[in-house]
């Protein structure tokens, strides 16, 4: 009996791994192995999955590949900035958020992350400016950024 149970658990792990690896991207498309990724959207989807699984270096590579195929992909600049910020490369992250916002000025997620990057860089005033912009637009992301600002302020005391 114990042997059968062990065997069933072993089989479920063997078959679950490849199914988990397939995953799905944010845009609704299936995540594809890099060999099958052809479009900027494919690479974005791969990067998004990597970023959600905290595989930030892999995300950076995928978002850069997406941007090599589509230089006007604001979402890819935003998520490239996110991954770079998580890797502690704040100056590069800020530059990518700026590119995203230049392409899409009313991009609340990019504006929120841009504010968070400013906090990570110790620039409270710049983060507050992003908060004010989000608040004026009625964006839900304003509250997210405000929470990060409050956390930042409490750490400064």
Read off the pLDDT of residues 101-128 as tens digits, 9 standing for 90 and up.
999 999 999 999 999 999 999 999 999 9
The residues with which 110 forms a beta bridge, in sequence order, are none
Query: Residue 30 pairs with which residues in a beta bridge?
Result: 24
Q: Are residues 87 and 50 in the same domain?
A: yes
Query: d(Cα 125, Cα 54) in Å, to the nearest integer?
Result: 29
Domain count along the chain = 2
Q: 86 and 111 share a domain?
A: no
Same domain membership, residue 82 and residue 33: yes
Q: Are residues 89 and 26 in the same domain?
A: yes
Helices 74-86, 56-69: crossing angle, 10 deg rounding = 160
First vs last C-alpha separation in the chain:
60
pLDDT tens, position by position, for the chain (157 residues)? Answer: 444 444 334 334 434 443 333 333 344 344 455 668 899 999 999 999 999 999 999 999 999 999 999 999 999 999 999 999 999 999 999 999 999 999 999 999 999 999 999 999 999 999 999 999 999 999 999 999 999 999 999 998 8
Tokens matching residue 22: 């397939």
Range of the domain at 74: 22-93
CATH number of domain containing 34 = 1.25.40.10
Asked whether the beta carbons of 31 and 45 are under 8 A apart, the reply is yes
């Amino acid at each position: 009996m114990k042997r059968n149970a062990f065997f069933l658990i072993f089989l479920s792990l063997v078959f679950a791994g490849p199914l988990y690896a397939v995953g799905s991207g944010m845009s609704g498309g299936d995540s594809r192995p890099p060999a099958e990724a052809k479009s900027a959207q494919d690479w974005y989807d791969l990067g998004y999955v990597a970023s959600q699984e905290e595989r930030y270096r892999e995300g950076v590579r995928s978002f850069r590949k997406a941007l090599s195929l589509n230089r006007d992909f604001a979402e890819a600049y935003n998520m490239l900035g996110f991954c770079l910020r998580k890797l502690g490369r704040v100056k590069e992250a800020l530059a990518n958020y700026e590119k995203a916002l230049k392409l899409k000025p009313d991009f609340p997620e990019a504006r929120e992350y841009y504010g968070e990057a400013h906090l990570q860089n110790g620039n409270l005033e710049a983060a507050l400016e992003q908060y004010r912009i989000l608040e004026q637009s009625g964006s839900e992301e304003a509250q997210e950024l405000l929470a990060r600002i409050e956390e930042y302020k409490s750490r400064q005391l």
